[in-house]
Amino acid sequence: MAGAGPAGLHHVFYPRRVAVIGVTDTPDRVGYNILESILYGGFTGEVYPIHPRHEQVLGCKVYKSLEDIPEPVDLAVICLNQHATVEAVESCGRAGVKGVICNAGGYRETGEEGYDLERRLISVAEKYRLPIIGPNTLGMINNDYNFYSTFYPMKVPKGKVSIISQSGGIGLTVIHMAIDEGLGINKFIGVGNCSNLDFADYLDYLENDDSTAVIGVFIEGTSDAGRFVRTAGKVARKKPVVVYKAGRLAAADYYTQTHTGSAAGSFHLYRDILHQHGIFIVNSASELVAACKALALQPLPGGNRVGILTHTAGPSVVMIDYLVPAGCVIPALREETIRRVKQIIGSDNPPVILKNPLDAAGLGFNRSTYGGLAEAIMADDNVDILIAVYCLHKNWELPVSGLMAAHEKHKKPLIVNYIGNWMGCRQDQEFMQKAGVPLYTAPEKTAVAAAALVHYGMMLKGGGNLDCK
What is the pLDDT averaged over residues 431-449?
Answer: 97
Mind listing the pLDDT tens digit for each residue in 26-49?
Answer: 999 999 999 999 999 999 999 999
Residue 468 in this model has a pLDDT that exceeds 70: no
φ/ψ (deg, to 5) at 188: -125, 130
Tell me what pLDDT residue 270 has. Answer: 83
What share of the chain in percent tops pLDDT 90? 80
Distant-in-sequence, close-in-space partners of 427: CB < 8 Å, separation ≥ 6:
none
DSSP for 354-389, please give it. Answer: -SSSEE-GGGGGSHHHHHHHHHHHHT-TT-SEEEEE
Tell me what pLDDT residue 467 has. Answer: 43
Tell me what pLDDT residue 252 has. Answer: 47
Provide long-range contacts, Cβ within 8 A and 24+ apart, for 272-277.
273/225, 273/229, 274/229, 274/232, 274/243, 274/245, 274/467, 275/465, 275/467, 276/229, 276/465, 277/229, 277/230, 277/232, 277/233, 277/236, 277/465
Mind listing the pLDDT tens digit for each residue in 184-198?
Answer: 999 999 999 999 999
Integer Rg of the chain from CA: 25
Mind listing the pLDDT tens digit for each residue in 285-298?
Answer: 999 999 999 999 99
Comma-separated ranges of CATH 3.40.50.261 domains in the chain = 156-296, 298-460
Instruction: Provide the CATH number for the domain formed by 298-460 in this structure.
Output: 3.40.50.261
Write the CA distances from 45 to 147, 150, 348, integer angstroms. 9, 17, 69
Mind listing the pLDDT tens digit for each residue in 48-66?
Answer: 999 999 999 999 999 999 9
Mind listing the pLDDT tens digit for each residue in 77-113?
Answer: 999 999 999 999 999 999 999 999 999 999 988 889 9
Instruction: Provide the CATH number for the domain formed by 1-138 in this structure.
Output: 3.40.50.720
Comma-separated ranges of CATH 3.40.50.720 domains in the chain = 1-138
φ/ψ (deg, to 5) at 397: -75, 140
Tell me what pLDDT residue 462 has. Answer: 75
φ/ψ (deg, to 5) at 159: -165, -160
The class (CATH top level) of 156-296 is alpha beta
Tell me what pLDDT residue 349 has. Answer: 64
Q: For all residues of the chain together, what is the average pLDDT?
A: 91
Tell me what pLDDT residue 396 has. Answer: 84
Tell me what pLDDT residue 250 has. Answer: 55
